[in-house]
């Protein structure tokens, strides 16, 4: 009974047209140009490397895409158990008609050729979006992105602010900001002006969110204008050699100022909490970051209290932080659990984290999932992975344990999968936080 129920729920969830609220898609090249863009996703390169494949074989300069794929396919057998390998299989099956259980020496080349041909089609990105039932995807744009040359209703801009907060000591970052804002930076006032210009630009280009990823030891706090001035001057003068306390004061000043602009421009501020960068320094590209799970949302107490008008869609890197996220969202109106991030984006962690959220956070203020993808082909398998888990939790926890009707369980699923994306980011035909679903 329960297996059939899960399957029915999954199929209905899978029919919903979605908006993906967080990706790393390049709007000017959204889909894969060759299969090497699929296999080059860091999940495959880092897992193959972890299983023994030398980095040099993967990242050889000038490597031909087909040769790169041949090398990687020859090293994927140790990964066949991983959920990431299942994404690859689902892409091969759904987009390219593959029908095996494993991609091997015998079949990789025909798969490669079929995929390469499909990818060469003019409207390949459009085909992928349609097959994936994706109406739109959020981007992750550099602060100086001109945001031109694409349809911002389909590729929705999002202002990524990591560099502004954590890298402003680097002269090239400041130079880029000065160029993009058309102003010079020397103190807190001029820095604020420059940041405001970028909000104006992004807002004019249909941006629907501001976003940042944060290390586990970050604890945002308000900096006095005087301290900010001193610190900005020091950082402008000394660059990365500036004192740690000076760089931290600048980071806090910029972060706080971004939150102020989110209030003014009515933008949600996506927080992605917990990543340590470059922990494994000899790792492959994008396969070097890890984390320290000893982080607490208590570090964000002042922020959440101060910016009551800003919605914070919040992701946590370690599953252990999910209970705090659930509890903070349970009482703070402006804290919204947001998807399942990176190392917590595998079924075992999704299931337990989702189950906890669905039974304790108001249904109107939790966003089920985003793909975090770099290429459009991954939207389909990643969302399906989530929808399978969602169907399982709805079946077991609501239909079986709490005697809900299937229809009602499905409505809850639709709410977290789609409606809340519209509601939280202010999309579509005007959901508001006050709307009641089933009143």
Q: Does 309 bind a second copy (CB under 8 A)?
A: no
Q: Which of 82, 107, 114, 152 binds a second copy (CB under 8 A)?
A: 82
**By CB under 8 A, what part of segment 45-64 binds a second copy?**
46-47, 49-52
**What whole-number distance in Å separates Cα of residue 104 and Cα of residue 188?**
58
Strands 158-160 and 155-156, sheet pairing: unpaired
Taking the CA of residue 262 as centre, how many other CA atoms within 13 Å lie in the half-sphere pointing to its CB? 32
Q: Does 84 bind a second copy (CB under 8 A)?
A: yes
**What whole-number distance in Å separates Cα of residue 339 and Cα of residue 21?**
9
* Contact present, 415 and 364 (Cβ < 8 Å): yes
Q: Does 400 bind a second copy (CB under 8 A)?
A: yes
* Contact present, 265 and 199 (Cβ < 8 Å): yes
Tallying the residues shown for the chain, one arrives at 439
**By CB under 8 A, what part of segment 324-383 binds a second copy?**
324, 326-333, 343-344, 346-349, 352, 355-356, 358-365
Q: Cβ 111 to a second copy, closest distance in Å?
A: 16
Q: Cβ 412 to a second copy, closest distance in Å?
A: 5
Q: Does 15 bind a second copy (CB under 8 A)?
A: no
Q: Does 229 bind a second copy (CB under 8 A)?
A: no
- Please, is 272 exposed, middle or buried when counting C-beta atoms within 10 Å of its C-beta (0-12, 13-18, 19+)? buried
Q: Which of 74, 118, 154, 219 binds a second copy (CB under 8 A)?
A: 74
Q: Which stretch binds a second copy (CB under 8 A): 24-32, 193-201, 241-249, 317-325?
A: 317-325
Q: Does 230 bind a second copy (CB under 8 A)?
A: no
Alpha helices in 269-364 (DSSP H): 301-306, 322-331, 347-358
Of residues 47 and 207, the one with the C-beta less far from a second copy: 47
**What whole-number distance in Å separates Cα of residue 221 and Cα of residue 293?**
21
Size of the site for a second copy (CB under 8 A): 89
Of 319, 325, 218, give the one whose Cα is nearest residue 276: 218
Tell me the CA distances in angstroms from 15 to 50, 82, 276, 384, 410, one per residue in order: 36, 26, 37, 11, 11
Q: Cβ 397 to a second copy, closest distance in Å?
A: 7
Q: Cβ 9 to a second copy, closest distance in Å?
A: 14
Q: Does 219 bind a second copy (CB under 8 A)?
A: no
Q: Which residues contact 232 (CB under 8 A, 6 or more apart)?
A: 185, 186, 187, 188, 191, 250, 253
**By CB under 8 A, what part of segment 414-433 binds a second copy?**
433
**What whole-number distance in Å separates Cα of residue 226 and Cα of residue 206?**
34
Q: Which of 15, 28, 81, 99 binds a second copy (CB under 8 A)?
A: 81
Q: Which stretch binds a second copy (CB under 8 A): 25-33, 44-52, 144-152, 155-163?
A: 44-52
Q: Does 323 bind a second copy (CB under 8 A)?
A: yes
Q: Between 94 and 113, how does the x/- string for binding to a second copy read (CB under 8 A)? A: -------xx-xx--------
Q: Cβ 438 to a second copy, closest distance in Å?
A: 5
**By CB under 8 A, what part of segment 275-294 binds a second copy?**
276, 279-283, 287-288, 290-294
């Amino acid at each position: 009974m329960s297996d059939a129920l899960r399957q029915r729920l999954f199929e209905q969830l899978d029919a919903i047209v979605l908006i993906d609220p967080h990706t790393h898609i390049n709007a000017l090249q959204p889909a894969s140009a060759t299969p090497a863009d699929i296999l080059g996703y860091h999940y495959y390169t880092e897992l193959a490397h972890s299983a023994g494949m030398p980095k040099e074989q993967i990242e050889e300069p000038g490597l031909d895409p087909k040769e790169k794929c041949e090398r990687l396919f020859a090293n994927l057998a140790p990964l066949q158990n991983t959920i990431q390998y299942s994404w690859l299989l689902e892409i091969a099956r759904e987009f390219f008609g593959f029908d095996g259980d494993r991609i091997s020496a015998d079949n990789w080349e025909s798969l490669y050729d079929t995929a390469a041909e499909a990818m060469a089609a003019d409207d390949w990105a459009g085909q992928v979006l349609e097959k994936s039932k994706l109406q739109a995807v959020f981007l992750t744009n550099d602060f100086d992105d001109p945001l031109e040359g694409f349809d911002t209703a389909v590729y929705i801009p999002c202002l990524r602010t990591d560099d502004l907060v954590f890298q402003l000591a680097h002269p090239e970052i400041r130079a880029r900001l000065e160029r993009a804002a058309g102003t010079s930076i020397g103190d807190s006032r001029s820095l604020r002006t420059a940041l405001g210009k970028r909000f104006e630009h992004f807002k004019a280009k249909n941006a629907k969110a501001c976003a940042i990823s944060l290390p586990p030891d970050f604890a945002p706090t308000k900096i006095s204008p005087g301290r900010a001035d001193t610190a900005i001057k020091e950082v402008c003068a000394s660059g990365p050699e500036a004192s740690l306390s000076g760089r931290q004061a600048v980071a806090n000043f910029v972060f706080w100022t971004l939150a102020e602009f989110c209030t003014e421009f009515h933008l949600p501020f996506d927080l992605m909490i917990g990543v340590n960068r470059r922990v494994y320094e000899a790792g492959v590209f994008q396969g070097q970051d890890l984390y320290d799970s000893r982080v607490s949302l208590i570090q964000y107490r002042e922020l959440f209290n101060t910016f009551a008008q800003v919605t914070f869609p919040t992701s946590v890197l370690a599953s252990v932080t999910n209970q705090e996220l659930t509890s903070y969202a349970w009482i703070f109106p402006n804290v919204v659990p947001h998807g399942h991030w990176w190392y917590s984006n595998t079924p075992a962690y999704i299931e337990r984290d989702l189950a906890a959220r669905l039974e304790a956070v108001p249904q109107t203020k939790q966003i089920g999932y985003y793909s975090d993808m770099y290429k459009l082909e991954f939207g389909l398998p990643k969302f399906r992975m989530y929808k399978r888990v969602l169907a399982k939790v709805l079946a077991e926890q609501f239909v079986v344990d709490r005697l809900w009707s299937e229809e009602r369980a499905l409505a809850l699923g639709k709410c977290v999968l789609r409606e809340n994306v519209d509601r939280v980011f202010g999309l579509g035909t005007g959901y508001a936080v006050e709307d009641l679903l089933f009143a």
